[in-house]
Chains A and B, each alone.
Chain A
Amino acid sequence: MAKSHDRQQGTPHIAEEWVGRIYTTICILFLIVSIFSLVYFVASKGLSTFFVNHVNPLDLLTGLKWSPDADIPLFGALPFIVGSFSTSLLAAIIAAPLSFCAAVFMVEIAPNFGRKYLQPVIELLAGIPSVVYGFVGLSVIVPLFRDWFPGQGVGIAAGAVVLSVMILPIITSISTDALAALPKGLKEGSYALGATRWQTIYRIVLPTTLPAQLTGIVLGIARAFGEALAVQMVIGNAPHIPRSLFESTSTLTSAITLSMGNTAMNSIQNNVLWSLAMILMLMTFVFVFIVRWLERRSKLG
Chain B
Amino acid sequence: MKKMFMLMSVVLLTFALAACGNNNSPKESGNASEAPSETSSASAELKGSILATGSTALQKLVENASGKFMDNNSGVAIQVQGGGSGAGLTQVSEGQSDIGNSDVFAEEKLDAAKAAELVDHKVAVVSIAAVVNADVNVDNLSKQQLIDIFTGKVKNWSEVGGNDQAIQIINRPSSSGTRATFEKFALGTKTEDLQGSIQEDSSGTVKKYVSETPGAIGYLALSYLDDSIKAIKYDGVEANVENVANGTYPVWAYEHMYTKGEPNEIVKAFLDFMMSDEIQSNDVVELGYIPMSEMQVQRDVEGNITK
Contacts and interface: CB of A to CB of B under 8 A. Distances in A.
Interface of A: 3-4, 7, 15-16, 19-20, 23, 26-27, 30, 66-71, 138-139, 142-143, 146, 152, 154, 232-233, 236-240, 243, 247-248, 250, 258-267, 269-270
From A4, A240, A262, A266, residue with most partner B Cβ within 10 Å: A262
B62 to A, nearest CB: 16
Contacts of B1: 3-4, 7
B200 A233 contact: yes
B177 interface: yes
Given A70-B192, A258-B201, A143 B212 contact: yes
Nearest to A273: B175
A138 B198 contact: no
Interface string B75-89: 000000011111101
Contact of A238 (B83, B177, B193): B193
Interface residues of B, number: 43
Closest CB pairs A-B (n = 3): A261-B84, A262-B175, A237-B199
Interface string B18-37: 10000000000000000000
B193 A69 contact: no
Interface of B: 1, 3-4, 7-8, 10-11, 14, 18, 56, 82-87, 89-90, 93-94, 109-110, 168, 173-177, 190, 192-201, 205, 208, 212-213
A36 to B, nearest CB: 15
B176 A262 contact: yes
A260 B83 CA distance: 8
Contacts of A23: 7, 10-11
A239 B197 CA distance: 9
A232 to B, nearest CB: 8
B213 A239 contact: no
B14 A19 contact: no
Nearest to A33: B18
Nearest to B109: A264
Contact of B199 (A15, A68, A238): A238
Nearest to A139: B208
Contacts of A262: 84-86, 173, 175-177, 201
B258 to A, nearest CB: 12
5 contacts: A23-B7, A26-B11, A67-B193, A258-B200, A262-B175
B87 A16 contact: no
Contacts of A261: 56, 82-87
A19 B195 CA distance: 61
A269 B90 contact: no
A15 B196 CA distance: 66
A239 B175 contact: no
A238 B195 contact: yes
Given A19-B4, A263-B86, A68 B175 contact: yes
Given A138-B208, A262-B86, A270-B86, 12 more contacts: A4-B1, A23-B7, A67-B193, A69-B190, A233-B205, A237-B198, A239-B193, A240-B193, A261-B87, A262-B85, A262-B173, A265-B94
